[in-house]
A and B are shown apart, each in its own frame.
Chain A
Amino acid sequence: MNKNIILYGAILIFGIAAPFIFPAFKVQLSILCILIILAITWNVQGGEMGYNTFGNILFYGLGMYLCASVQVGMFFPLGEWTEGGGEKTFVHTPAQFFQGFAVGLAVAAVVPAIIAGLIGYSILGLRGHYFAICTLGLGVAAGEISGGIEIIGAGQGFTTPPFPNVDRLEARGEFFYFCSFVVLVFTFLAVKAIYSTRFKLVLNAIRDNEDKAEAMGIQTMKYKIIGWMISAFFCGLAGGIMGGLVGYIDSTDVAFDGREMGVFMVLMAILGGKGTLWGPVIGATLFHIFKEGFWTFFLGWQYVALGVLIVVIVIYFPEGIMGWLREKYPERFGEVVDEADRKAQVTLK
C-alpha cells in the first residue's frame, strides 16, 4: 500500500509540474490527458464488459458540440455566432467565458450519459460484431447528420469562443491543461473506485458469458446500460474540453472523427492491455508519443503508419503490454502459479 501512495503522489506531482517543466508541450500534454481519458472509458466498455464499441466517438463529439453551444448560447444568439464563421462581433468577457465553460462541461457530461441510457436498451441488445458495426454506423451517422445542421455551423464548422486575455497570453494552455488533468484524475479515481466493487465483477461476468450471468440472476441489461452511461459521461467531458482546446469544431474531422479518435481509443486500450486499470494509461501514453513523432517527421504518411500499426497490433499483440507482462511475471499480478501445472501446459503445446 505504501508503495502505491508514493507512486500516485509522484504521478500527481509530475502532472501538476509538467506544464512548467515542459512549457512548449502544454497542448500536447493536454491532448495526452484527453487520450488517456478516452482509453480508460473505452476500456470500461470494451475491455471489462466485452462490448467492443466504435461508437464512443458519438458521445465525445456530442460533448464537444454541447459544451461549445452552451458556452455561446448562454450569452449570445447561437445562430448568429455560427453564421459569422471566423468573424466575431460578440466577445465573451472573462467571467462569461468561465461560467459558460463550466456550465457547458456539466451539460456535455450529463446529456451524453442520458442519451446513452435512452438508446442503451435498444443498442446493447446486440452482441459481438453486430454491436461493433452498429456503433460504427451510429458514429458515422452522427457526423454526417451534424454536418447538415445549420445552427451548429453545418459544413463550415463552429468556432468556439476564444480564450479571454486575463493577465497574460500564456494562461490559455495552462487553463486547458489543468482542466484536462483534473478530469483525468477524476476519471481515473472514479474508474478505480468502480473496479473495486461488485459492479466490475458483474461486467466481467457479462464479458465471459452473458447467458450464464443472466442465468445466475444478474440483470445484465441494467448493468450494461450503467456501464455505457459511465463511458458516455467521461467521453462527453473529454469532448467538451477538447473542443475548447482545439478552438474549432468540424463535424467529421474534429467532433465525430471516427477515422482518427474513434479508432485511436480502441487501439490505445488494446495496445496497453484490455481489461486492466493501468493498461489504457500506458497504451495511450506510448501511442501518443509514437503518433506525435510520426506526425511530425513523416507528415502525410501518418495514416499509412496508422493502418499498418493497427494490423500489426491486432495480429501480433492482441494481449497488449499488460497482458504480456502478466504472462511473463504472473506473481507480480497476485496470481499463484502452480509449477507442475505450468509445466504440464508447456508440454501440451
Chain B
Amino acid sequence: MDFLIFQVPMLTLQAVLDGLLLGILFALIAYGMALQWGVMNIINIAQGDLVILGGYIAYFMYLYGIHPAWGVIVSPIIMYFVGVIIYKLVINKVVDRDLFISILATFGISILFMQLMNFAFGADVVLANSGYGTTMLFDNSVTLPNSKIFSAFISIVFAIGLVIYMKKSKLGRAIRATAQNARAAKILGVDTEKVYAATFGINAALCGVAGALISITFTIHPYMGLPYTIRSFMIVIVAGLGNLPGVAMSGMGLGVFEEFADYILGTEFRIGSVFLLLVLILVYRRFKLSRKREYLK
C-alpha cells in the first residue's frame, strides 16, 4: 500500500479531524430526518434540497454585506415557514399513505427545488466567505479552518437545544406523544395536524441551520442536495430511529469514512462511495436480520 495518507501520519490526523467536524454537520441534518421520519413516517427526499436552500439564504446575506454567520439565526426562521408551507401544500396529503407515495412526492419537490434554485441563484458553485482564518496545529502540519470549528460548535448547540426543547416544552411533549401513537394522542386532545406541521417546520429549520453552516464551511450548488439526503438516510438507518447518541456517532463515522475515501480513492469517487456504502449497509442489515427470519421494517 503506497497511499500518501498512510506514509504521512499527519495526513491521517488531518483526515480524521476534518471528518469529525464534517460528520457533526451530517448528524444535525440526520437528526431532522430522524425526527420527521419517527413522527410522521415519511422519508423526505427533498431534505438535501432544503439544506441547500438554507445555504443560499446565508449566501445572500453575505452578498448584501451581512456577516454570513448571522445566517445561522435568520435561515432557520425562514426555513421553518418554508417547511410549514411544504407541509400544508403536499405532505399532509401523503402522511397516512403508502411510503413509496411519499418518497415519490418528495422526489418531485426535490426536482422542483433544484430547478427553481438553479433559476434564482445560477448554476455556479458558491461559498460565503466568513473570514475566520485558520488554526495551525502541530508545527503547521495540520490545518483547521476556524469556520469548521465554528460550524461544529453551532451544530452541537442547536442539537442540544432541540433535545432540551423536545423534553421540556409542551409542543415537544406533543410531538413525542404523536410519534408514539398518533391515534391515542388525538384522542387525548393533541392537534396532530399542527404537530405534524411543526415537526416538518422544525426539520426544515434544522436543515436551514446546517445549510447556512455548509455555505460558510464548504460550497453549495443547486444540484448538490441528493447526497445530503442519502447521507442523512444512511445515518438514521445505522443509528436507528430515536437514538440520538447513535445519530451523532454514526454521523461522525460517516464524515471520517468520506475523508478517507477522498484520500484513498480520489475525489471523483467520493460521492459514489457514499452511495455504495448505503447499499452495502442495507445489504449487511438485511443478511443480519434474515438469520432471524426478519426484514427491515
Q: B226 near A: Cβ within 8 Å?
A: yes
Residues in chain A near residue B136, CB distance under 8 A: none
Taking a contact as CB atoms closer than 8 A, the residue among B266, B272, B278 that contacts A133 in the complex is B278
Residues in chain B near residue A301, CB distance under 8 A: 115
Taking a contact as CB atoms closer than 8 A, the residue among B97, B111, B118, B272 that contacts A306 in the complex is B111
Q: B100 near A: Cβ within 8 Å?
A: yes
A311 touches B109 (CB 8 A): yes
> CB within 8 Å of B: which of A228-275?
259, 263, 266, 270
- Once bound together, how far apart are the Cα atoms of A143 and B275, in whole Å? 10
A315 touches B112 (CB 8 A): no
- Most chain A C-beta atoms within 10 Å of own C-beta, residue among B100, B266, B271, B296: B100
Per-position binary interface string of chain A over residues 87-118, scored 1 when its CB falls under 8 Å from any chain B CB and 0 otherwise = 00000000000000000000000000000000
B112 touches A307 (CB 8 A): yes
Per-position binary interface string of chain A over residues 120-131, scored 1 when its CB falls under 8 Å from any chain B CB and 0 otherwise = 001101111110
On whether A307 and B108 interact (CB within 8 A), knowing A140-B226, A140-B275, the answer reads: yes
- Once bound together, how far apart are the Cα atoms of A301 and B286, in whole Å? 41
B276 touches A315 (CB 8 A): no
On whether A303 and B100 interact (CB within 8 A), knowing A125-B290, A129-B43, A315-B90, the answer reads: no
Shortest Cβ distance from residue A152 to the other chain B in the assembled complex, whole angstroms: 14
B111 touches A52 (CB 8 A): no
Per-position binary interface string of chain A over residues 304-319, scored 1 when its CB falls under 8 Å from any chain B CB and 0 otherwise = 1011111100110010
A-B contact count (CB 8 A): 129
Q: A162 near B: Cβ within 8 Å?
A: no
- Once bound together, how far apart are the Cα atoms of A62 and B226, in whole Å? 22
- State how many residues of chain A have any CB contact under 8 Å with chain B: 41
- Once bound together, how far apart are the Cα atoms of A134 and B283, in whole Å? 9
Taking a contact as CB atoms closer than 8 A, the residue among A122, A147, A314 that contacts B94 in the complex is A314
Q: A213 near B: Cβ within 8 Å?
A: no
Q: B132 near A: Cβ within 8 Å?
A: no
A304 touches B104 (CB 8 A): no
B115 touches A304 (CB 8 A): yes
Residues in chain B near residue A145, CB distance under 8 A: 269, 272, 276
The 3 closest A-B pairs by CB, nearest first: A307-B112, A310-B108, A144-B272
A-B contact pairs, 27 of them (CB 8 A): A122-B286, A123-B279, A125-B286, A126-B282, A126-B295, A130-B237, A132-B103, A133-B233, A137-B279, A138-B275, A140-B226, A141-B276, A143-B272, A144-B269, A145-B269, A147-B272, A148-B268, A263-B111, A300-B119, A303-B111, A303-B114, A307-B112, A307-B115, A308-B112, A314-B94, A314-B101, A315-B105
List 20 extra interface pairs beyond A125-B287, A134-B279, A140-B271, CB under 8 A.
Answer: A125-B295, A126-B286, A128-B297, A134-B282, A137-B275, A140-B230, A141-B275, A147-B268, A266-B104, A300-B119, A304-B115, A306-B112, A307-B111, A308-B112, A310-B107, A310-B108, A310-B111, A311-B108, A314-B104, A318-B97
A residues within 8 Å of B by Cβ?
52, 122-123, 125-130, 132-134, 136-138, 140-141, 143-145, 147-148, 154-155, 259, 263, 266, 270, 300-301, 303-304, 306-311, 314-315, 318
